[in-house]
Structure formats: structure tokens, C-alpha cells
Amino acid sequence: MTLSEATHQAFVLLLGGDPKLWGIIWVSIRVSTLALISAVPLAVLSGFVLATFTFPGRRALVVILQTLLALPTVIVGLVLYMVLSRQGPLGEWHWLFTQEAMILGQAVLAFPILAAMTLSAVQGVDKRAAETAKTLGASRLQAMWTVLLEARFAVLVAIATGFGRVLSEIGCAMMVGGNIAGVTRNITTAIALETSKGEFAQGIALGAVLVVLALAVNFAMNFFQGKGLTR
Amino acid sequence: MKPIFALQNLRKSHGERLLLNIDKLELQRGNTYLLLGENGVGKTTLLRIMAGLEAADGGQFQFDGQFVNSDTERAALAPNLIYVHQHSYLFYTNVAENIGYGLKLRGIPKTEREALVAAELVWAGITHLRDVPPNQLSGGEKQRVAMARARVLKPELLLLDEPTANLDDAAREQVVELIAHMRDANNCVIIATHDKELAEIPDAVKLKLEEGRVQG
């Protein structure tokens, strides 16, 4: 099959509403969205705490967080595989090769991005914001909430970046998800599989969807960045 | 008459330099004070210490007869004591929500809050800017919003730090006009400035900060 034939076939599959193809897309969106929802509260809180408070070990935590940004996805997959496998500490959960395991893995991957970008976003808020809140009668907690609200556009950029990262990762999803058709097969693992089989049409179709999703995420990021920068 | 704010033996150093060395300062209700002095003489630091935003190296402070010696105690006086920055910070919402910020913190119901905000918009002459975000405001408009945001909370002591700095003539005139109307019998306004126009505010008491000391 030539490249143009494969591309034509890809659009036929996409536009024809091929259930198998759209099922794979749905797995990707569902898993990545739930992973992000799971990671956001703790990650944003961690980033905020690191940006706001000084305490022993803070600097070490920041360095660890920054190191985790470059963590290879297969390493996360490997560690989670061992933790979730039958002999592992969480083996009783029977999560290995399920969407829950993929969600957990992607949440772990998203965490450092969300926390590090929130840290940077909160540090970037003008010091006068907290002072103004306090002088207008805000309690310490209310002033901190105000500062977080002031950083909201940058935090949204962090969330969009995190979504982009987990949506496009393959290593962790492959290792803890197992690429089971109709269950844990997502866009990236399906592209790898179909390409290895020489089935380029489905790979191109899924690749096109991934590019469209990446574009949407980047448009969202751009929008939020614009909002934040024009104050 | 019991002063609204009094301080004694205030000492504040920046490194080796003794910036503030004030033996006594008393501010009375119903007065507007102009804190005059060259740039870098410590006017901003004095106001920030009074507001509890900076700690002093030493000194005794009283607000309405109550001792508030620690910066935490003084910060807790807000919003009875409000400090307005030289370049006011407006929250990234809109003008009305900025003015209503402190009222919301106080738990004032929405309808009442809206009425109070509307009255302040009229007072500051910025009704047309009600829904405008801060990035679309000029320096003078931002300062008027900050004045209205402070005034709506009826502070007993208002500390204004160089409120007319970097404003053009027209904006300065409008802000000076507002400041002249911020004082009433129950409050006290202290303005750090070297603006000659502000020095023309009627009945303002002039205080000069020089070499760390205040001369009345």
C-alpha cells in the first residue's frame, strides 16, 4: 500500500466512524483525562506549597521535582509494573493491564509537570497581590487563595501541558496497560502495534487524531498564556 | 484626644544604615498628613511598618490606644488600617470586583455589595469602567480604583504611598481631588509624597522625614 493509499484509507476509517478506531481514541481521552483529574489537586497544592512556604528540605524537593520532569515514561512503567504485579506491594489490587493502571501511570507522569509549572506560576505572581489582599482584610488562607487565583491562567497552561504529555506518552501505557484490544489499547500503543504489522492506514488515522488533539491543547495553552500576559 | 495611631522609639536599619530613628509620632483622627521627604529617605518603609507589612527593629506602636507592637498584630488591623501601594496592584478580574473584594471578604451580601460598589464607582468617577479588566486601565484609572477599593471599607487609618507618582498632569489632578475627599472626622489619612500638588490639600499637616527623623 502506498502512502497516499494508506492516507486515503485512514480518512475513510475516521470519517466512516470505524468503532474499533474510535474505541481506541476514547480509551486515550478517557485515561488521560482521568489521570489529569487525579493528579491536578495534589500537584497544584504541592507546587503552591513549594512556592509559598520555606521549610527544611524545600530546595531538595524542588530539585527532585525538576529531575522528575525528565523522567523517561518507561521507567515509570517499569516501577509501576513491579508495584502492581502479583508479587508487588499493590498486587492485590489486580490493576496490572487495566485502564486504572494506565491512569495511575499517567497521573505519576503528569504530577511533576503540573507541580513544577504551578510552582513557577505562583512564584511569578506579583508580591503586591498577597500584600494587597491582606491589607484589604484577607486572612492568610484567603490571601493565599487570591494569589492562586491570580496565577490561574499559568496553572491552566500547566494543566494543558500535562494533558499533552500524558496523551502522547507510550512507554508507561504499553507496560502497565498491556495494549489489550478494546480495553487498554490507546492511540499511541495502537500506532506502535499497527505500524509494526505494516497496517499504516489505522496508524495514520490515529496519528492524525493525536496531532489534532495536540493542536487543540496548544491552542488552549496559547489562549491561557495570552490571558495571563495581557494584564 | 487619643491618637488613632502612635509610635515611639521606632528603629529600622537597612544593613549598616539606620533608616528610621523616630522617637515619637502621633496621628489624630480627622487629619490628613503629608509625609514629605527625598526619595530613599524611608517614607515607604515607615508606611509599610505601620501597616505590618514589614517588621521594625524596635519600637512601640498603638492603634486607637491598643498596643500593636508586632508586625502581625498591625497586619491584623486590616482593613481598619489600609496601605495602598505606590503602584497599586489590581486583581485580574474587573474594576467592580476589585472594589468589592474587601466587602466580599467581610461576607457582605451580594446585593448590598453591589450597591456599595456602585456608590464608590460614582465617587471615583469610574462608573464607565465597571466591567473593565485592569490591563485596560491607565495609571490614573488604576489609582482611582485602588482609592475606591480602600475607601469602600471605611478604614480608620489610610496609608497612601506616593499615590500620584508617574501620573500625567490630568490623572494627577483627578487623584489629588479624590484624596482631598477621603478624609472625614473619624478617619486619618497619611500620604507619603513629594508631589507639590498634594502639598496643597487643605488643612493637611506636613511631616518631614529627614535623616530618619520626623519633623512636624
CATH code of the domain covering residue A159 = 1.10.3720.10
Integer Cα distance of B174 and B168 in angstroms: 10
Q: Which residues of chain B have pLDDT under 50?
A: none
Q: What distance separates the 2 farthest-apart alpha carbons in chain B?
A: 53
Mean pLDDT over each residue of chain A, to the nearest integer = 92
Asked if the model's pLDDT at residue A229 lies above 90, the reply is no
Q: What is the pLDDT of residue A61?
A: 96
Question: 3-state DSSP call for residue B5?
Answer: strand
Percentage of residues of chain A with pLDDT beyond 90: 77
Selected residues 123-162 of chain B with any CB under 8 Å from a CB in chain A: 133-135, 149-150, 153
Substitution target from B73, B77, B92 for chain A, most A beta carbons within 10 A? B92
pLDDT the model gives residue A16: 84
A200 in Cβ contact with A194 (< 8 Å): yes
Quick count: other Cβ atoms within 10 Å of Cβ A46?
19
- Determine which helix (DSSP H) or strand (DSSP E) holds B94, and give its type and residue range: none
H/E run at residue B160: strand B157-161
Mapped to the 3 state alphabet, what secondary structure does A131-151 carry? HHHHHCCCCHHHHHHHHHHHC
What stretch of H or E contains A209?
helix A200-229
Query: CA-to-CA distance for B133 and A220, rounded, in angstroms?
Result: 21
pLDDT at A4 over 90: no
**Chain pair A-B, CB pairs under 8 angstroms:** 56
Q: Are A28 and A217 in contact (CB under 8 A)?
A: no
Confidence (pTM): 0.87
**DSSP 8-class letter at B136:** G
* Best CATH choice for the domain B5-90+155-215 from the list 3.10.180.10, 3.40.50.300, 1.10.510.10, 3.40.605.10: 3.40.50.300
Cα separation of A69 and A99, whole Å?
A: 23
Distance CA B35, CA A97 (A): 71
Q: Is A226 at the interface with chain B, CB within 8 A?
A: no
The residues, any chain, with a CB within 8 Å of residue B48's CB and separated by 6 or more, are B54, B83, B161
Q: Give me the residue from B53, B79, B92 closest to A136, CB to CB.
A: B79
| pLDDT tens per residue across span A40-98 | 999 999 999 999 999 999 999 999 999 999 889 999 999 999 999 999 999 999 999 99
Whether the ω angle into residue A72 lies within 30 degrees of 0, i.e. cis, is no
Please, what is the angle between helix A187-196 and helix A19-52, to 10°?
Answer: 130
pLDDT tier for residue A228 given thresholds of 50, 70 and 90: low
Determine the Cα–Cα distance for residues B190 and A61; give it in Å rounded to an integer: 44
pLDDT at A225 over 80: no
Q: Work out whether the CA dihedral A57, A59, A63, A66 comes out positive or negative.
A: positive
Q: Which residue in the set A131, A137, A230 is minimally distant from B135, CB to CB?
A: A230
Per DSSP, the three-state class of B138 is coil
Give pLDDT, residue B147: 95
Domain ranges of chain B: 5-90+155-215
The total domain count for chain A is: 1
What's B36's DSSP letter?
A: E
Asked if pLDDT for residue A217 goes beyond 90, the answer is no
Give per-residue pLDDT as tens, A13-30: 888 888 998 999 999 999
- For residue A12, the model assigns a pLDDT of 82
Domain range holding A76?
3-230
| 3-state secondary structure (DSSP) of residue A26 | helix
How far are the Cα atoms of A36, A38, A161, A181 from residue A102, in angstroms, in the given order? 12, 12, 18, 14
List pLDDT tens digits, range A160-191: 999 999 999 999 999 999 999 999 999 999 99
Residues B85, A132: C-beta atoms closer than 8 Å: yes
Q: Quote the ipTM score.
A: 0.94
**Cβ within 8 Å, pair B153-A133:** no
Q: Does A198 touch chain B (CB under 8 A)?
A: no
- C-alpha span between B188 and B204 (Å, rounded): 11
Listing DSSP states for A137-198 in one string gives T--HHHHHHHHHHHTHHHHHHHHHHHHHHHHH--HHIIIIITT-TTTT--HHHHHHHHHHTT
- Segment holding B172, helix H or strand E: helix B169-180
